[in-house]
């Protein structure tokens, strides 16, 4: 699942720390930060590996007011 895109790796990591603290069910997931070129700039995509639970977890985050996207 993609949890956001940030202007720096540290911004993405800070967001993970905040989200995994707020939502305990995120903490056991494997987090990754992936650089992506978008419009000539580099963004850092914050993602977590959720496997078969991706849709359920994303739905819970959306209900709580967070943005989330299921990606393969």
Domain boundaries of the chain, sorted by first residue: 2-63
Say how far apart CA 3 and CA 40 lie, in whole Å. 22
Dump pLDDT digits (tens) for 16-47. Answer: 999 999 999 999 999 999 999 999 999 999 99
Q: What pTM was estimated for this model as a whole?
A: 0.92
Say how far apart CA 51 and CA 40 lie, in whole Å. 31
Whole-number percent of the chain with pLDDT over 70: 100
| DSSP code at position 57 | H
Under the banding of pLDDT at 50, 70 and 90, the label for residue 72 is: confident
Whether the Cβ atoms of residue 10 and residue 46 lie closer than 8 Å to each other: no
């Amino acid at each position: 699942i993609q949890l956001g895109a940030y202007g720096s790796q540290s911004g993405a990591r800070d967001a993970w720390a905040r989200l995994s603290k707020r939502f305990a069910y995120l903490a056991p997931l494997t987090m990754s930060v992936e650089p992506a070129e978008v419009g000539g700039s580099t963004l850092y995509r914050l993602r977590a590996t959720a496997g078969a639970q991706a849709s359920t977890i994303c739905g819970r985050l959306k209900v709580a007011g967070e943005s989330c996207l299921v990606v393969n």
